[in-house]
Structure 1
Amino acid sequence: MAPAASWLPGVRRVVSPGLDGRGDPGHVALTFDDGPDPLSTPYFLEELDRLEARATFFVLGNRLERYPHLGRRIVAEGHELAVHGWRHERFWRPRPRGDVRDLARAAGTVQRIAGTRPLWYRPPYGVLTATRLAAARRLGLRPVLWTAWGRDWTAKADAESVLLELARRMGGGATVLLHDSDHACAPGAWHSGLEALPHLVMRCRAEGWTVGPLAEHGLRSA
């Protein structure tokens, strides 16, 4: 469980800026977790298209397998697919065989849909256990958590609360975490992130930061 201490922002900011998502100071990486979801992901794609912004989607393998057309649409519209695991599970105890098996299955599904090998891995709940870290390294995936999140998964979240929470740790070089699905969130919570999205992108641009996927973020070494 020792690597899971990196879940704490203060810890990873100091000991692992790459895991914290610290990249090019002129760029902000926009990332979404827990999809794809036919009820919500299309709205995020439409808004990103309107904003002319691109992002990285950390998808769950079992959901991508169920909704492959959404995965293909994400890629076709210029976004990046990354690995969030096979299911959104709380397996935080050591699972050497299980973690490799599940992560390989998820990465294989992403590669089949995207047509390219995925680069990034973010574990469910951001808990990077030793066995998850070992599985990621074995599969050539680089773990990335986040610099700033919007707490957009709660029933009380709205656009204002999401933006206020993000502002606590926002800045050039940040990796932002939002959710394009309420699969592991309060029902309907995705609306808060969607409503905050244009304000977030406009704020970044007003500060002179470009917004894009992790592939363009110039991540520092983990």
Structure 2
Amino acid sequence: MRRDANAGRLLTAAVAAVPALVAAAHAGPAGTWLAGPRRALLPALAGIGTPHHVALTFDDGPDPNSTPAFLAALDELALRATFFVVGEHLLSHRRLGQDIVRRGHELAVHGWTHERPWWPAPRREARQLARAAHAVAEVSGTRPTWYRPPYGILTGDRLLAARRTGLRPVLWTAWGRDWTAHATAESVVTTVLTDLRGGGTVLLHDSDRHAAAGCWRAALAALPGVVAACRAAGLTVGPLGEHGLTGRAGSSHVRQPRR
């Protein structure tokens, strides 16, 4: 009887622990959102490539109200970049997506929608990520390589879905906080360059759909300053496909040029 009682208690404890284990498996990988540990422990996930190069990436498009302005600016700067697009937006603006590719830029996956993963939903995440990857392949004519989850939240469900879809998760090493209502060109440049080193990946946004209205203008205005600082430091700027993500970041910061 005592053995049966002990076994019963163990079984009850194990069953009670299941939700906690599921939650840990779901939320644990999301700790990679923290920039410091990510850069130190997971350089490839942080987007750290060869020291002489900086990867330029944009999230949340394509957006007919703002993305064309970024494409024009990149043409003027003679630059190519990686655009992490939202699947449902891409299929609503196919021609804009095709124009991104026609101009030599790289399309990558930013999810089917732009939602936060509050609860574990492995089947839903797998289905939606596969749908988004298919949309990118259909519009670009090329199977996508890169995946950046919305808000940079890489849960266990999303990580497993990416592996099943054949996508490589990449976050960033420097961002501009350009999604806020008070962002300016100066604040975006300063914030990016504070964390940017050779080999880093820059995150900006070419749309305000999931941010403060009109904030994309700050990112657009900051773009020449960020690029000038990189070039002044002897760094090339381009898409993730040219970034060589097996490398390590350089030891020196990229400094903003004096005016």
TM-score (norm 2): 0.84
CA distance in 1, matches of 2:181, 2:192: 17
Secondary structure, counterpart of 1:168 in structure 2: helix
CA distance in 2, matches of 1:213, 1:160: 23
CA distance in 2, matches of 1:83, 1:56: 10
Of residues 167, 172, 185, the one that matches 1:159 is: 185
CA displacement at 1:146 relative to structure 2: 0.3
CA distance in 2, matches of 1:189, 1:105: 29
Secondary structure, counterpart of 2:166 in structure 1: coil
CA displacement at 1:217 relative to structure 2: 0.1
Of residues 14, 25, 45, the one that matches 2:71 is: 45
Matches within 5 A, 1:18-97: 18-97=44-123
Which has the larger share of helix? Answer: 2
Whether 1:128 and 2:154 are equivalent positions in the alignment is yes
**Corresponding residue for 2:126?**
100
Contact 2:48–2:201 (CA under 8 A) maintained in structure 1: yes
Contact 1:32–1:179 (CA under 8 A) maintained in structure 2: yes
CA distance in 2, matches of 1:108, 1:92: 25
Q: Unaligned 5+ residue runs, structure 2?
A: 1-26, 248-259
**Corresponding residue for 2:6?**
none
Contact 1:29–1:217 (CA under 8 A) maintained in structure 2: yes
Secondary structure, counterpart of 1:19 in structure 2: helix
Letter in 2 for 1:25: P
Secondary structure, counterpart of 2:58 in structure 1: strand
Contact 2:193–2:226 (CA under 8 A) maintained in structure 1: no
- % of aligned pairs identical? 62
Contact 2:54–2:235 (CA under 8 A) maintained in structure 1: yes
CA distance in 1, matches of 2:84, 2:101: 12
CA distance in 2, matches of 1:201, 1:161: 15
Q: In angstroms, what is the RMSD of aligned CA positions?
A: 0.8
Letter in 1 for 2:200: A
Aligned residues: 221
CA distance in 2, matches of 1:12, 1:53: 27
Secondary structure, counterpart of 2:195 in structure 1: coil
> Per-residue CA shift, 1:116-158, capped at 9, x if unaligned?
1000000000000001000000011000000000000000000
TM-score (norm 1): 0.98
Contact 2:199–2:243 (CA under 8 A) maintained in structure 1: yes
Whether 1:3 and 2:29 are equivalent positions in the alignment is yes
CA distance in 2, matches of 1:51, 1:41: 15
Contact 1:92–1:129 (CA under 8 A) maintained in structure 2: no
> Per-residue CA shift, 1:159-194, capped at 9, x if unaligned?
000011111211100100000000111000000000
Query: Rg larger in 1 or in 2?
Result: 2
CA distance in 2, matches of 1:6, 1:127: 8
CA displacement at 1:93 relative to structure 2: 2.2
Q: Unaligned 5+ residue runs, structure 1?
A: none
CA displacement at 1:49 relative to structure 2: 0.2
CA displacement at 1:203 relative to structure 2: 1.1
CA distance in 2, matches of 1:135, 1:176: 24
**Corresponding residue for 1:116?**
142
Runs (4 or more) in structure 1 with deviation over 2 Å come to none
**Corresponding residue for 2:176?**
150
CA distance in 2, matches of 1:91, 1:12: 20
